[in-house]
Structures are given as C-alpha cells and as structure tokens.
Amino acid sequence: MMKIDVLSIFPEMFPGVLGHSILKKAAEKQAVSYNVVNFRDYADNRHQTVDDYPYGGGAGMVLKPQPIFDAVTDLVDKAESKKPRVILMCPQGESHTQKKAEELAREEHLIFICGHYEGYDERIREHIITDEISIGDYVLTGGELGAMVVIDSVVRLLPGVLGSEESHIQDSFSTGLLEHPHYTRPADFRGMKVPDILLSGNHKLIDEWRTKESLRRTYSRRPDLLDAAELSPEQRKWLEDIKKQQ
C-alpha cells in the first residue's frame, strides 16, 4: 500500500478531494493511505510562526526551514519505508507529466510539501527534497491545488484502483499520443451519428481507426508530442497521409 503524506498549513482543503471519487475508492481498497499534516504544529515558537522576512530584503515572506525539516523527519521516522520521495510543489520545478506520474506510482511513500507566501528557505530544497514539481507555467496562491493534481494523477495508476487496467494505459499521454475520440449510445443523437466503423464489430478495423484518429488529433493539437512518440512504420505512414490531408 502506498502512503501519501501532505504537509500544508491549510489541511482543511484536502478532505473534499481525497474523500471522493477514485481517490476515496483507492483508500477503501487499501491501495493508498492519506495523511494530511499541518506543519505549523511543528513550529518551535510560541506563536507557531512558520514564515519570516527574507534576508537581504524584498517583498513577501519565506517559509522557515525548522518546521518543515522537523515535520519531514517525524514522518520518515514513523514510516516503514525510510526512503520516501519528498516532493516540493513549486513553480520552479519540472513540469508534471504522465511519465512522472507513472514513475511516482511505483514508490511506496510520497511526502508532498505545499508552500505559501513568497517561497521556501533554500536549505529545504538543498537538503530534504528529492523532487520539485510544477503543474504549469503560472503561479498559484499555494501548493495545495498542485499537490491534489499530482496525487490524483498518481493514485489512479495504482494496481486495482481503476475498474480496467487498460483504462490508464490508453489514456492521453500514456502512449505518447492524445487519445482518440469516444462515442456511446445512442448511435444517432439529434442527427449526429457515431462513425460507422465503430458499429461494425470488426475490432481490427476499429483499432486501426482509433490509432489513426489518435495520430490525427495529436498532429492537430499537440504536434510537439510526435517528436518523442515511438511510432511503428505503419503508424508513420498513416501520419504522413494525415499531414497531406491537412
């Protein structure tokens, strides 16, 4: 079972996300356990202050090292695994990807640190962090929303969490391409019809159609992904045909 600890000064933000849908079911199936900790509880001063003015001046406040160091140390000491991945949610971090989610899903213990204010004391980065992750090139008021996004992307990949193991394998980005279009009943909705091939029962042709549509959508919306995609000779031929049609 994966263990996920989250350090935040706003722990009340998490129950609504962790207590619903797939994340809730994952905990019920004992695929994962969640523990959200207010690292203000580890502050060694009477007023439980976790931030201070930056040396050298400047706008904003900076998170102090002591509460976060002590919180991480305590969580590691209490855990069975002594080598957790300690993840700092930070706009300076590497952009989160499906590949990163798959990598983290193989771990036994993840600790997420959610910051606020202007930033972190640099010694936190230098001495206790294993990963810095950003969910995009923009700045949020804190790391909580980013941590929720990463947790969701990781937990859904754990064994037994999704109803079908093929679900996440066929997700957009898992194959290096965007996912093909989906349709469900009715076959004719207000004159808008499902492609005939999907009603044919010919699974070989259906798979071929889905692959071509995945290539078409990727080329149209995210052509940058094609540079790293591992395509078969047949898929490359289909892609060339798609390019000629544009």
| Residue list for the binding site for S-adenosyl-L-methionine | 115, 135-140
Beta strands in 176-231 (DSSP E): 188-189, 192-193
As annotated, the binding site includes 115, 135-140
Catalytic residue flag (residue 65)? no
Catalytic residue flag (residue 125)? no
Contact by Cβ (8 Å): 154, 104: yes
Contact by Cβ (8 Å): 143, 132: no
> For residues 34 and 2, what is the distance between their CA atoms, to the nearest angstrom?
9
Q: Which of 70, 91, 208, 210 is catalytic?
A: 91
- Residue 144's closest CA among 85, 70, 90? 90
Q: Which residue type does 76 have?
A: V
C-alpha angle 123-57-125 in degrees, rounded to nearest 5: 15
Catalytic residue flag (residue 240)? no
> For residues 135 and 130, what is the distance between their CA atoms, to the nearest angstrom?
17
SS3 121: coil
CA–centroid distance for 67 within its chain:
26
Catalytic residue flag (residue 156)? yes
Give catalytic residue positions.
Answer: 91, 118, 156, 171
